[in-house]
Structure 1
Amino acid sequence: MNAVLIERAHELGFREVPEAPMGDYHARTRLVAGSICNSTDAKLLHGTFPGCTKFPAVLGHEAVGEVTAVGAKVRNYRVGDLVIRPRVCFPSEFNIREYFGSFADFAYVTDQWAMDEDDPPTGARAFGHPQQVLPAGADAMLGVLSITLKETLSWIRRFSVGKGHRVLVFGTGPVGTAFVLFSRMAGAKQVILAGRTESSVRRAAELCHPDTSVNVTDPHFVARVHEITEGDGVDRAIEGVGDTSVIDLAVPCLSPEGQIGLYGVAPSTQAKALHANHPRVRAISPDESEVHEEFFSLVREGRVDVFAFLTHRLPIRDVGRGFSLLANREAFKVGLDW
């Protein structure tokens, strides 16, 4: 089978790799669609994602596969199901890593529910199972694009963004845009979008409609935020760009009870930021499975236009071009078809 690999830092490949054997709790999927994660996949490609700097490695976590076969102990997947986040599951002797390993012709999903029934865990699982089945009739690309949106919706819930809050969102990509969208749905009193360029802020604002926006390069950024909030400051500041320097910008913008939530920075960096900066900084871990049904209800009701985020759709062999489009800021979200 063919797969998208990072051969070494900065070098992307599309070549044949062996297929891993299927386990009893695995369902084999044929990849149908995927998308490039603007932040994580770019960091992985360039060798800057903490803990993921050894290659070659199969890339990708935003993907949907169609189940073609199920293992002997699988009870919750059926042939024909479209499933989110399959991965290749290579044995160590293949000498190919998985970061996070979705972009291959064939990949597996694991029936974690059946595994837990047959061999119950000693304690409650911290998070649900992310490899969810799409609703009947759902388009595969809809499922792909739902991954980021479900993550951000869950994150907003876990950060307790709610009615009456003033919210400051750092980030004008798909993640930041989704944070604005879901903060508004949660009943926030005021949502401010913070970005680095006028063009990126304008493009994001067309999708998520913040109350106003501010430029993080403005030397009077903090004063501007306090002016917008009538001196109150913000109750929730959201980091959606993978950069802990946002903390220094956000702290003086907080209300007396305000908090900063980290989403984009890697866990190892989060721990450092939590201890080194400010006691009101929180690292929030989303669980997209907990909002799976709710999210697709929002889509059916027309409250979330998933495809508005998608600006380019390419065949998988053109994945390198997709990275270039994102790096040059010519694309907002790049979908990939198998």
Structure 2
Amino acid sequence: MSETMLAAMVTAPGRVELREVPRPKLGPYDALTRTLACSFCRGTDTHLIHGTLPFGPPMPFILGHEGVGEVIATGERCRKFRVGDRVLRAGAAYPAGMEGAPRIGWGGFAEYGLLTDIEALRADDPSARPTAGSAAMQQPIPLEMDANEATVLITLKETLSALRRARFQPGMDVLILGTGPVGLAFAMCARALGARKILAAGRHVGRLDRMRRFGADEGADLTAGEIGPLVKAATGGRGVDLAIDAVGDRSRIGALLATLARGGSVGIYGVPEGSLAEYHRYAFDAKGAPDWWSLTVINPDEPSAHEEALGLVERGKLDLGRFVTHTFPLERFEDAVAALASPDAVKVVVTFANKGE
């Protein structure tokens, strides 16, 4: 097996390249994977590519965090993973201080990845750091699940967890600000969990129509007026129990508060572009909000939603295939990045031909 591999790297703002980089080295608690597929998280990855994510790594770095890998070798102390397992969040990873190691932006767009059995590692040395930075999120999937579709699980697990952390309950009326892939995931998950009415708000009529196909009942066109009156009209004057900001538009927090029913909550999920200082800054006018409301900044616990997501997929409540609109081989990575700008794109998936020899 070659000591190098191909990886897609962000080399400068707006610029991506395929480069030869070192293949990850198998440690005693690790498992080596060949990458089967990796999809783009359109919001986060687009920010990373253009250098606008508040907490992005210095360039150049290997992009990608929605990968699926197949285990091809395991270290002698690795017990969690076996050869042949298919696992989420596999990505390039290197020991701290390794000479010549590239930087990692989660590292999913690489031919090989590394998993770490964090439970075995910590059992032997509670202070040890795993080689794979995403070790806690590296969870197995059914072998029969299509790898391209399985990449969508990562977004759906995050949105399921976000709804739980926002204290969603069946029968609630929900507003989703944003009509991109994350907005679609929130619509599908809220429907699967038993929302009463799901409203979507956005600026593109075509995308609002697509939100309806993913579970939303009605769409509010933000170009047609203020969101508060639109939502109140759609709910008989009551408002919604939960409003989710799926895009990171901090300028609309006050407007979202005005859509709430009494006792309702706004959940902030999307990440704004800009500096880290701007990321931590909240300024809004609560005029129009009810006399009892709450604001929650949601940090999802993706691993906690794993079994629930798999169960909803098995019962037909979550349709992974509906998200996948474009696929490209790794060799056409620049075309895959360009496809992210298409209004028809939901999940753009990159596939890998390497066989792990």
Q: Same fold (TM over 0.5)?
A: yes
Q: Distance in 2 between matches of 1:65 and 1:277?
A: 46
Q: Distance in 1 between matches of 2:135 and 2:69?
A: 19
Would the aligned equivalents of 2:22 and 2:101 in 1 still touch at CA under 8 Å?
no
Q: What corresponds to 1:23 in structure 2?
A: 27
> Following TM superposition, by how much is the alpha carbon of 1:53 offset from its aligned partner in structure 2, in angstroms?
5.3
Q: What corresponds to 1:112 in structure 2?
A: 118
> Following TM superposition, by how much is the alpha carbon of 1:270 offset from its aligned partner in structure 2, in angstroms?
5.2
Q: 1:161 aligns with which of 165, 168, 172?
A: 168
Q: Distance in 2 between matches of 1:163 and 1:121?
A: 41
Aligned partner letter, 1:140: A
The range that moved more, 79-88 or 157-166, is 157-166
Q: What corresponds to 1:99 in structure 2?
A: 105
Aligned partner letter, 2:319: D
Aligned partner letter, 1:43: H
Q: 1:73 aligns with which of 73, 77, 81?
A: 77
TM-score normalised over the length of structure 1 = 0.91
> Following TM superposition, by how much is the alpha carbon of 1:252 offset from its aligned partner in structure 2, in angstroms?
1.3
> Does 2:68 align with 1:54?
no
Q: Distance in 1 between matches of 2:114 and 2:186?
A: 30
Would the aligned equivalents of 2:254 and 2:284 in 1 still touch at CA under 8 Å?
no
Gaps of 5+ in 1: none
> Following TM superposition, by how much is the alpha carbon of 1:94 offset from its aligned partner in structure 2, in angstroms?
2.3
Report the count of equivalent residues.
332
Would the aligned equivalents of 2:177 and 2:246 in 1 still touch at CA under 8 Å?
yes
Would the aligned equivalents of 1:36 and 1:335 in 2 still touch at CA under 8 Å?
yes
| Matched position secondary structure for 2:249 | coil
Would the aligned equivalents of 2:118 and 2:135 in 1 still touch at CA under 8 Å?
no
Q: Distance in 2 between matches of 1:331 and 1:157?
A: 27
Pairs within 5 Å for 1:179-328: 179-206=186-213, 208-265=214-271, 268=276, 271-273=280-282, 280-328=294-342
Aligned partner letter, 1:166: D
Q: 1:17 to 1:261 in 2, by over 3 A?
A: same
> Does 2:156 align with 1:149?
yes
Would the aligned equivalents of 1:39 and 1:242 in 2 still touch at CA under 8 Å?
no
> Following TM superposition, by how much is the alpha carbon of 1:95 offset from its aligned partner in structure 2, in angstroms?
5.6
| Matched position secondary structure for 1:256 | strand
| Matched position secondary structure for 1:327 | coil
Would the aligned equivalents of 2:228 and 2:258 in 1 still touch at CA under 8 Å?
yes
Q: Distance in 2 between matches of 1:35 and 1:312?
A: 10
Q: Distance in 1 between matches of 2:40 and 2:204?
A: 22
Aligned partner letter, 1:24: P
**Higher share in helix:** 1
The range that moved more, 132-141 or 149-158, is 132-141
Would the aligned equivalents of 2:326 and 2:345 in 1 still touch at CA under 8 Å?
yes
> Following TM superposition, by how much is the alpha carbon of 1:315 offset from its aligned partner in structure 2, in angstroms?
0.6
Q: What corresponds to 1:33 in structure 2?
A: 37
| Matched position secondary structure for 2:53 | coil
Q: Aligned-residue CA RMSD in angstroms? A: 2.2
Gaps of 5+ in 2: 129-133, 287-292, 353-357
Q: Distance in 2 between matches of 1:318 and 1:181?
A: 30
> Following TM superposition, by how much is the alpha carbon of 1:85 offset from its aligned partner in structure 2, in angstroms?
0.5
> Does 2:10 align with 1:6?
yes
Would the aligned equivalents of 1:244 and 1:265 in 2 still touch at CA under 8 Å?
no
Q: Distance in 1 between matches of 2:28 and 2:231?
A: 55
> Does 2:110 align with 1:129?
no
Would the aligned equivalents of 1:55 and 1:96 in 2 still touch at CA under 8 Å?
no
> Following TM superposition, by how much is the alpha carbon of 1:260 offset from its aligned partner in structure 2, in angstroms?
0.9
Would the aligned equivalents of 2:205 and 2:221 in 1 still touch at CA under 8 Å?
yes
Q: Give CA deviations for 1:175-212 in whole Å, capped at 9, x if unaligned.
A: 11111122122222221011111011112322x23121
Q: Distance in 2 between matches of 1:330 and 1:228?
A: 27
The range that moved more, 308-317 or 320-329, is 320-329
Aligned partner letter, 1:229: T
Q: Give CA deviations for 1:154-184 in whole Å, capped at 9, x if unaligned.
A: 1111211112322110111121111112212
Q: Distance in 2 between matches of 1:47 and 1:186?
A: 35
> Following TM superposition, by how much is the alpha carbon of 1:246 offset from its aligned partner in structure 2, in angstroms?
2.8
Q: 1:151 to 1:290 in 2, by over 3 A?
A: same
> Does 2:68 align with 1:64?
yes
Q: Distance in 2 between matches of 1:176 and 1:102?
A: 23
Q: Distance in 1 between matches of 2:119 and 2:125?
A: 10
| Matched position secondary structure for 1:280 | strand
> Following TM superposition, by how much is the alpha carbon of 1:8 offset from its aligned partner in structure 2, in angstroms?
0.9
Q: 1:28 to 1:277 in 2, by over 3 A?
A: farther
